[in-house]
Structure formats: C-alpha cells, structure tokens
Structure 1
Amino acid sequence: MMLEVQNLHGYYGKSHILQGVTLKIAEGETVTLLGRNGAGKSTTLKSIAGVVTPKQGSVSFNGTQLEKLPPHKIAARGVCFVPEHRGIFKLLSVEENLRLGARKDSPWQLADIYRIFPRLKERRTNGGGQLSGGEQQMLAIGRALMNHPRLLMLDEPVEGLAPVIVEEIVAQLKLIRQAGVTILLVEQNLEVCTQLADRHTIIEQGRIVYEGTNADFIADESVKDRYLGVGVV
C-alpha cells in the first residue's frame, strides 16, 4: 500500500475530531473520503499532510512514517495537499504561482500543466487574484502537480463552482488519474465522486464507517441515505 493510516486521533483544541481513523490507498487508486460537515474529512487530510499533528496513530507513506514530520518534509516526499481555500498567491501571476511549485524531477512541467489546463495558459500573465474561483482551483491543482505528487489530496475542489466549470475540472482530474497519480478526494458532490473514484470511504464522528467499490457505493442507496443524508447519486 502507498498510504496506510492507522488508528489516527486528532484534536482541534479540546475537541476530539478524529477518533481512530484507519484507511489504506494503493498506488494509482482514486479514493474518496465522504461524510457530513464536521465528520473529520478535512482534519484527516490535514493530519496526513502534517498541517495538524495527530495525538495518536500512524501515517505511513511508501514505508516512511510521516506523523511526526513537518509539512514541508511531507510535501518533499510527494504528498501534495490542495486545501479548500486553495492557497494561491493572488499578487503573483499564474505562471509565477506555477513556477513556485516546480521541481526539476517532476514529470509535470509548465507545458504539461498548460496542456491539461488551457485556461491557465490563456491567463498566464494574469494575477492570481484576477482569476475566477474555478480558475484558482485549476491553478492550485496545477501547482501541486509541478511539485511531483505521488499522492494528490484535494479538499472540496469543485465546491461552489458553476456546473460547466465542474465538468471541466472533472475532465482534467480524469487525465491526471489516467497519468497514474494517486488521489485522495474529499468532495460533497457525489456525481463528481462516482465519476472519478475506484473506492469510497465514509467517515462519521471521526471514524471510518464504510468502505466500498464505486459500483457497490452507487448501488447502495441505504448507505448514502444513512451516512450522507442523500438518497440518489
């Protein structure tokens, strides 16, 4: 397994958010982490990325223990996290933002990013703050790719975006997936999730309560209704 998370416990202040999260992801897989608001989805990603330090449990990535490493050392090992707020530099141009994340050993160079995200090429001299929300999301994903991700973690990449932009980003993520990048996706849009994922996991009150293949998840209305409060995909 590329990523193995075992019995992870995490806190925000005195709030015990993660209560023994365990999950595994194989190389090349796309796996979703689903759940209601406050279930612990974002905290799980942040704990893997080192943004939140877990109080207990382990995170193993390609055989290396990550749970005590700082975020920049985790990123250097190929774990790239695109947070919900995207984290782009609004005063820098699109191209400057991309070059900030560049690594010479990455298979993803500027030309590759512009091929997958043609909007970014069109706006390469624009400041990050001049971009739409969807374009900022594309920029954040493109910058992460230039950092040579072995594991790409995305937190709500299409939240609040227009349907036409959602379709565009889904198509782009399919290309990234086909290139062999392993993806851990937190997303509320189940239609997007079922277009992309090999497997789905559901977290509730800080614990993983469901794991299943894409086909099993689509077919099981009771799981979606019980844990996510929706009855259709």
Structure 2
Amino acid sequence: MMLKVQEIHSYYGKSHVIQGVSIEVGQGELVTLLGRNGAGKSTTLKSIAGLIAPASGTVLFKGQDITHLPAYRIAGRGVCLVPEHRGIFRLLTVEENLNLGRKKGSPWSLQDIYKIFPRLYERRRNGGAQLSGGEQQMLAIGRALMNHPQLLMLDEPVEGLAPIIVEEIVAQLKLLKAQGISILLVEQNLEVCTQLAERHYIIEGGKIVYSNDNASFMHDTYAKDQYLGVGAVQ
C-alpha cells in the first residue's frame, strides 16, 4: 500500500476540521477525495503532506510512519502536493520554476516535462505571471514531477479551466497513472473523476461518509445527490 491514513484528526486553532479520516491509495492507483466546499478535502491533503500536523492518528507512506515528519522530509520521500492555487513563482520563468522542483537523482528531466506538456516548452522563457490558468496548472504538475513523486496529490487541478485544457490535463494524468505514479485527487468535476479513478471517497464534516469503486459510484445517484449536491453532479 502506497498510502494508508488511519483515523487522523486535524485542527485549525480550536476548530476540529478533520475528525477521524481513514483513506488508502495503492501502488499506481488513482483515488479521489470528494466533498462539498469546506468539507475538509484540502485539509486532509495538507495533513498528509505535513503542512498541518495531525493531532492524532497515523499517516503511513510505503509502510513507514510519516505522521510527524516536517513537510520537507515528507516531500523528500516522494509525497508531492500540488495545491489548489498552484504556487507558481510569478516572477520566474517556466524553466526556472521547473528547475526549482528538480530533485537530485530524479528520472524526470526538463525534456520529459516538455514532452508531456508541449505548451510549457513553447512558454519556457515566459514568466509565471504571463501564463494562462491551464498553463500554470501544467507547470505546477511538471514541477512536482521534477521532484520524482511516488504519490502525487492534486487539489482541484482543473477548476476554472476551459474544456479543451481539461481534456489535455486528464490525458496527461492517465499517462502518469500508467507510469505507476499513485495519485490522490481532489476535484469537483465528477466527469473527470469517473474518467480517471479506480475508487472514490466522500468527506463531509471532516469525516469519510462514503467509499466505493468507480463502477458502483457512477450508478449511485443517491450518494451523489446526498453528499455532493446537484451542482456537483452537473
């Protein structure tokens, strides 16, 4: 098992945001974490990545306890988070942003990233602030790949993007999954989720309230209406 989260509880100050979340992601598996806004999706990812220290519970990565490691140590082990707002350095060029993510010994090179995302090659001399939203998302994923991730966590990667760009990013995520990278995906676009995922979790009020395989989830109208709302299904 690549990732095993066991009964973690996380807080923002005195606010008990994550209340006993348990999820698993296998080798080369893409799993989604779904839920309404404010349900605790991003906080779960941050708790796994070490940006928030869980108050209790355990995070196991490849069987090793990483619960209380600092974020840079967790990233060094191969857990990479691409945050919702992408974290692009706006004053640096595309190539400089990519090189910042380079990990010594990583099998991913600039040429590999440019092959996956040809748009980044075309924009390699452009500053981060000059990129479109879709190009910034490609850059954020490419920079994470330069760090040689074994688990890639993506927070709303296609939010607000044009349909043609969404299709492009979905195609590249399929390619990354085929190469054996495990992916934990937070996403509101259910069509994207069902195209990509083997399994789905739904979080509500900081607790996992539903989990199922993709085929069962696709036909479970009740669960989608009950936990995600009509707006998420459309």
1:137 equivalent in structure 2: 137
Q: Aligned partner of 2:84: which letter? A: E
Q: Aligned partner of 2:193: which letter? A: C
Distance, in Å, in 1 between the alignment partners of 2:42 and 2:103 is 26
2:71 equivalent in structure 1: 71
What are structure 2's unaligned runs of at least 5 residues?
Answer: none
Q: Which stretch shows the higher mean deviation, 72-81 or 103-112?
A: 103-112
Q: Aligned partner of 1:137: which letter? A: Q
1:8 equivalent in structure 2: 8
8 Å Cα contact 1:221/1:232 also seen in 2: no
Cα deviations by residue, 1:158-193 (Å, 9 ceiling, x for unpaired): 111111111111111111111111000000000110
User: Residue 218 of structure 2: SS of its match in structure 1?
Assistant: helix
- Misfit runs of 4+, over 4 Å: none
Mapping 1:53-64, distance limit 5 Å = 53-64=53-64
Aligned length: 233
In the alignment, structure 1 residue 163 sits paired with structure 2 residue 186: no
In the superposition, relative to structure 1, how do residues 27 and 162 fare at CA in structure 2: closer, same or farther (>3 Å)?
Answer: same
2:120 equivalent in structure 1: 120
1:189 equivalent in structure 2: 189
Q: How far is 1:105 from its partner? A: 2.0
Distance, in Å, in 2 between the alignment partners of 1:206 and 1:63 is 24
User: Residue 185 of structure 1: SS of its match in structure 2?
Assistant: strand
Q: Aligned partner of 1:181: which letter? A: I
Distance, in Å, in 2 between the alignment partners of 1:52 and 1:104 is 26
User: Residue 229 of structure 1: SS of its match in structure 2?
Assistant: helix
* Percentage of identical aligned residues: 71
Q: How far is 1:62 from its partner? A: 0.8
User: Residue 112 of structure 1: SS of its match in structure 2?
Assistant: helix
Mapping 1:1-233, distance limit 5 Å = 1-230=1-230, 232=233
Q: How far is 1:40 from its partner? A: 0.5
* TM-score normalised over the length of structure 2: 0.97
Q: How far is 1:107 from its partner? A: 2.3
8 Å Cα contact 1:88/1:136 also seen in 2: yes
Q: How far is 1:130 from its partner? A: 0.5
In the superposition, relative to structure 1, how do residues 120 and 209 fare at CA in structure 2: closer, same or farther (>3 Å)?
Answer: same
Distance, in Å, in 1 between the alignment partners of 2:22 and 2:173 is 25
Q: Aligned partner of 1:154: which letter? A: L
User: Residue 209 of structure 2: SS of its match in structure 1?
Assistant: strand
What are structure 1's unaligned runs of at least 5 residues?
Answer: none
Cα deviations by residue, 1:89-116 (Å, 9 ceiling, x for unpaired): 1111101110111124222211111011
Cα deviations by residue, 1:70-107 (Å, 9 ceiling, x for unpaired): 11000000000000010111111101110111124222
User: Residue 74 of structure 1: SS of its match in structure 2?
Assistant: helix
Q: How far is 1:232 from its partner? A: 4.6
